Amino acid sequence: MKGKVVGHSIPKVDAREKVTGQAKYATDLYMENMVHMKVLRAPYPHAIIRKIDISKALKVPGIIRIITKADLPELKNFGLIIKDQPALVGIGEKTRYLGDALALVIGEKESQVRKAIRLIDVEYDKLEVITDPLRAMEEDAPKIHENGNIVCVHKLDKGDIVKGFMEADLIVYNEFKTQHLDHVPLQPDAGMAVMDEDGTIRIWAATQWLHDTRVDVAQALGMPVEKIRIIQPTIGGAFGKREDVIAQLHLAIAAKMVKRPVKTIYSREESIISTSKRHPIIFRFKTGVKKDGTLTAWEATIIGDTGAYASSGPAVVHKGLYHCTGPYNVPNVRGVAYTVYTNNTYSGAMRGFGATQTAFAYESQMDIIAEKLGMNPIELRLKNAYQVGSTTPNGQVLYASVGVKETIIKAVEAFERQGGVIK
């Protein structure tokens, strides 16, 4: 087995623990004297909060504490790239999506907490809800964040785009759109936290970036980093979703305030509403091509909906721009990418990190071009595919390990062996 991995069945190091039920996930955690926490989410995706009345909820037997922004006005925003997400939205502040947290309800039993959360009275003034990034980019659109709805703009310029289109025999323009996609890991979002006697907060939660989460939680709470410990239990799926801070910060706040171990488990509905998704992206492609199938120019406008908060949006949408021509040689490329706030659930990392949505768009564009030229789509791809020495739209020269043509040929052979017919 030594030195031979590819093509062999390798025992998974944690398989026995998982199949025998010995593995401990965040939902399995328990400590003596532990209490339960639920989050009151925004009643409306874009609104000014006018009142949060917790008086009735506090009377529910077993309720220990209800925490609102008024208890912790010093809390700082958090976020992976831009610190734009509040831990709690307070009175006079604005909700930006349905996952925004208004209160943390803590009680002896989960059933008591669920009952109390329904008794919290919230008054709010509705604002226009913006779900379309194109509407968000209009000059008269309400600002979701103080600095405007366009988070960032990235540009790309290679060769001479005007010359490239002049050399083309055919110019093809199309628009493609992708949709939100949830990661849906089998394990629900969950965690537990406790504050030790020396003031250190220990947090157990399914997470991918322990170091970043630790720093982000510490800065939001105004605590030294060494006073935050993130402990990774067995994780039941992530796929990029758990790069973001999810329950960790709320657990830390609750543990600090009640001085007891605190646990939370999200419902599937709460997870769908409040945690990150794959970015929906609009692609507008204009492509120049000669009669023999040679690509001469590619112009791309990319608009990524990052939802209410930036998360990994600036990097994901930027990456989508860099992949706009796919694995195909195009000497003249111009592109611009906009990452845009809306009132949708925020978008973040997911497998492919922007390349997946872009692949759908550029491969669709290649199929349409082939059809318009009356050309076999495989022939079109092989004619333009990267090889050693090719240059990507952002100027990277590919020196080695460029197997696009071989991959296409092998895929076609496998497809045809199974009876497939390429038209």
- The answer to the question of residue 15 being in a domain is no
Pairing outcome for strands 262-265 and 35-41: parallel
- In this structure, the answer to whether residues 247 and 343 fall within a common structural domain is no
Tokens 């030594």 -> residue: 2
Mean pLDDT computed over 142-160: 97
Q: Do 192 and 112 reside in the same domain of the chain?
A: yes
Regarding whether 305 and 213 lie in a shared domain, the answer is no
Residues 169, 291 contacting (CB under 8 angstroms) = yes
Tokens describing residue 281: 């992206």
Residue ending a domain, choose from 265, 287, 317: 265
The torsion of the CA quartet 87, 91, 92, 97, rounded to 10 degrees, works out to: 50
Q: Decide if 6 is inside a domain.
A: no
11 assigned to some structural domain = no
Tell me: pLDDT of 85 over 90: yes
Q: How many CB atoms lie within 10 A of CB 202?
A: 17
Co-location of 360 and 241 in the same domain: no
Reported as a single tens digit per residue, the pLDDT across 56-73 is 999 999 999 999 999 999
Over residues 364-423, the pLDDT tens digits come to 999 999 999 999 999 999 999 999 999 999 999 999 999 999 999 999 999 999 888 776
Q: Single out the residue in 265, 300, 315 at which a domain terminates.
A: 265
Tally of domains in the chain: 2
Identify whether residues 100 and 213 lie together within a single domain.
yes
The kind and range of the H/E element at 284 are strand 281-289
Over 60: is that where the pLDDT of 1 sits?
no
Lowest mean pLDDT among 12-26, 115-129, 142-156: 12-26
Q: Are residues 210 and 172 in the same domain?
A: no
- The CA R_g of the chain, rounded to the nearest whole Å, is 25
Would you state the pLDDT for residue 209? 87
Query: Do residues 194 and 340 share a domain?
Result: no
Q: Do 371 and 241 belong to one domain?
A: no
Encode pLDDT of 197-249 as tens digits.
999 999 999 888 899 999 999 999 999 999 999 999 998 888 999 999 999 99
Would residue 157 count as lying in a domain? yes
Question: Is residue 49 assigned to a domain?
Answer: yes
Same domain flag for 342 and 326: yes
Give the residue numbers spanning the domain of 236. Answer: 32-127+183-265
Query: What pTM did the predictor assign?
Result: 0.94
Instruction: Please check whether residues 214 and 329 belong to one and the same domain.
Output: no
Residue 177 lies in a domain: yes
Amino acid symbol at 224:
P
The CATH number covering residue 82 comes to 3.90.1170.50
DSSP 328: B
Are 353 and 333 contained in the same domain?
Answer: yes
Instruction: Read off the pLDDT of residues 312-323 as tens digits, 9 standing for 90 and up.
Output: 999 999 999 999
Strand (E) positions, 46-169? Answer: 47-53, 63-67, 94-95, 101-107, 121-126, 150-158
* DSSP-H helix ranges across 140-261: 161-166, 210-221, 248-258
SS3 category, 41: strand
